[in-house]
Amino acid sequence: MGITDMQEAFYYRECAAAHENSPLGLHYAMFLPTINKQATPEQKKKWLPLAENYKMIGTYAQTELGHGTFIRGLETTATYDPKTKEFILDSPTLTSKKYWPGCLGKTSNHCVVMAQLYTQGKSHGPHMFMVQIRSMEDHSVLPGIEVGVIGNKFGYGTNDNGFLSFDKLRIPRENMLMRYSQVGRIPRENMLMRYSQVSRIPRENMLMRYSQVHEDGTYVKPQNAKLAYGSMVLIRSSIVSDAARGLAQACVISIRYSAVRRQTEAYPGGEEPQILDYQTQQYRLFPLLASAYSLQLAGKYVFNTYLEVNDQIEKGNLESMPELHALSAGLKAFSTYEASAGIEVCRICCGGHGYSQASGLPKIYVDVVPGCTYEGENTVMMLQTARYLMKCYSRAKQGQKLPGFVQYIGQNLNKKSCMSEEVALGCLVMAYEHRAARLVEAAAMRMQSLIQGGKKQHEAWNGSSVQLFWAAKAHCHLFCVKNFVDAIQAKSLSSKTVTVMKSVCQLYGVHGILENLGEFMQDGFFSGEQVGYLQRKMLALFENIRPNAVALVDAFDYPDMVLGSCLGRYDGQVYQALYDYAKSAPMNQTEIHSTYYKHLKPLINPETTSDAMQFAKL
Q: Which residues are catalytic?
A: 375
**Is the CB of 238 or the CB of 294 nearer to ligand LHLMBYCS?**
238
As annotated, the binding site for FAD includes 63, 102
Interaction of residue 384 with ligand FAD, rule CB under 6 A: no
Interaction of residue 232 with ligand LHLMBYCS, rule CB under 6 A: yes
What is the distance between the alpha carbons of residues 539 and 283, in angstroms, rounded to a whole number?
8
From residue 301 to residue 340, the character string flagging contacts with ligand LHLMBYCS as x (rule: CB under 6 A) and all else as - is --------------------xx--x---------------
From residue 53 to residue 72, the character string flagging contacts with ligand FAD as x (rule: CB under 6 A) and all else as - is ------xxxxx---xxx---
Which listed option, ligand FAD, ligand LHLMBYCS, none, makes contact with residue 156 (CB within 5 to 8 Å by class)?
ligand FAD
Sequence-separated (6 or more) residues with CB below 8 Å from residue 292 = 244, 247, 248, 251, 342, 556
Interaction of residue 102 with ligand FAD, rule CB under 6 A: yes
DSSP 243: H
3-class DSSP state for residue 172?
Answer: strand
Q: Which of 230-238, 255-263, 417-425, 546-554 is the region at the interface with ligand LHLMBYCS (rule: CB under 6 A)? A: 230-238
Interaction of residue 229 with ligand LHLMBYCS, rule CB under 6 A: yes
**Is the CB of 386 or the CB of 534 nearer to ligand LHLMBYCS?**
386
Please identify the residue of the shown chain whose CB is closest to the bound ligand FAD. Answer: 68
Inter-CA distances, 260 with 133, 276, 301, 423, 571, Å = 52, 8, 35, 32, 10
What is the distance between the alpha carbons of residues 317 and 327, in angstroms, rounded to a whole number?
18
Q: Least distance to ligand FAD from the beta carbon of 465, Å? A: 6
Greatest alpha-carbon pair distance for the chain in Å reads 93
Q: Which of 50-58, 94-102, 419-427, 532-540 is the region at the interface with ligand FAD (rule: CB under 6 A)? A: 94-102
In which element (H, E) is residue 222 found? none
Interaction of residue 373 with ligand FAD, rule CB under 6 A: yes
Interaction of residue 377 with ligand FAD, rule CB under 6 A: yes
User: Residues 113, 117, 120, CA angle at the centre, nearest 5°?
Assistant: 150
Task: Characterize the bridge pairing of strands 162-166 and 212-213.
Answer: unpaired
Alpha helix ranges (H) inside 96-229: 188-195
What is the distance between the alpha carbons of residues 441 and 389, in angstroms, rounded to a whole number?
10
> DSSP string spanning 69-115?
S-GGG---EEEEETTTTEEEEE--SGGGSEE--TTTTTT-SEEEEEE
What is the distance between the alpha carbons of residues 60 and 37, in angstroms, rounded to a whole number?
13
**Cross-strand partners of 131:** 111
Q: Which of 5-13, 90-98, 402-410, 429-437 is the region at the interface with ligand LHLMBYCS (rule: CB under 6 A)? A: 5-13
Contact positions vs ligand LHLMBYCS (CB under 6 A): 6-7, 10, 25, 28-29, 60, 62-63, 68-72, 102, 226, 229, 232-233, 235, 238-239, 242, 321-322, 325, 374-376, 380, 384, 387
Contact positions vs ligand FAD (CB under 6 A): 26, 59-63, 67-69, 100-102, 156, 161, 370, 373-374, 376-377, 379-380, 383
